[in-house]
């Protein structure tokens, strides 16, 4: 049952990310639900689950783009790993630290993606000002909302 629910949530998150990107993204800015959820999984389930799930979600994000195949998989897995490591010092179950971690990891993601582009592609991959400025905030909000939903689901 738990596997089924996990699989459904796994697929639902990918669907949500695709749907938001396709139909609700304005000026190129959309929350990275998969990144936020990876951090949330790390906070709730530990680094191992977050790494595996993050890598799979990153692979999905890579499939949808034409270049740098594997970049998102790497960065999401690293984000899950980092969050899993951080949760030992910081209580990421609380919304504030979780949102902060997601916010910082989003900046790190943007920077790392640019560097990966510089190494494996023609140059620094610039995600754009709207995504750079609004993306981390939206990611933090998404992580907070997902955390609340997770909490409610766990209580129910």
**7 contributes a contact to other proteins by CB under 8 A:** no
Q: Which two tokens stand for residue 154?
A: 């766990």
Out of 7, 8, 15, 126, name the contact with other proteins by CB under 8 A.
15
Instruction: Please state the closest distance from residue 154 (CB atom) to other proteins, in A.
Output: 20
Out of 33, 81, 103, 109, name the contact with other proteins by CB under 8 A.
81
Beta bridge partners, 29, equal 26
- Cβ pair 83, 100 in contact under 8 A: no
**43 contributes a contact to other proteins by CB under 8 A:** no
**C-beta closer to other proteins: residue 78 or 101:** 78
Return d(Cα 54, Cα 31) in angstroms, integer. Answer: 16
- Cβ pair 136, 83 in contact under 8 A: no
Out of 1, 3, 4, 23, name the contact with other proteins by CB under 8 A.
23
């Amino acid at each position: 049952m738990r596997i089924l629910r996990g699989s459904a949530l796994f697929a639902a998150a990918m669907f949500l990310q695709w749907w938001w990107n396709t139909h609700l993204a304005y000026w190129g800015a959309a929350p990275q639900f998969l990144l936020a959820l990876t951090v949330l999984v790390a906070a709730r389930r530990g680094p191992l689950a977050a790494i595996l799930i993050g890598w799979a979600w990153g692979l999905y994000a890579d499939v949808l783009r034409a270049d740098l195949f594997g970049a998102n998989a790497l960065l999401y897995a690293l984000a899950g790993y980092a969050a899993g490591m951080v949760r030992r010092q910081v209580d990421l179950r609380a919304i504030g630290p979780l949102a902060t971690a997601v916010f910082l990891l989003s900046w790190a993601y943007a920077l790392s993606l640019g560097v990966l582009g510089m190494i494996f592609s023609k140059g620094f991959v610039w995600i754009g000002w709207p995504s750079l400025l609004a993306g981390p905030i939206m990611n933090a909000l998404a992580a907070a909302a997902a955390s609340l939903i997770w909490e409610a689901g766990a209580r129910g």
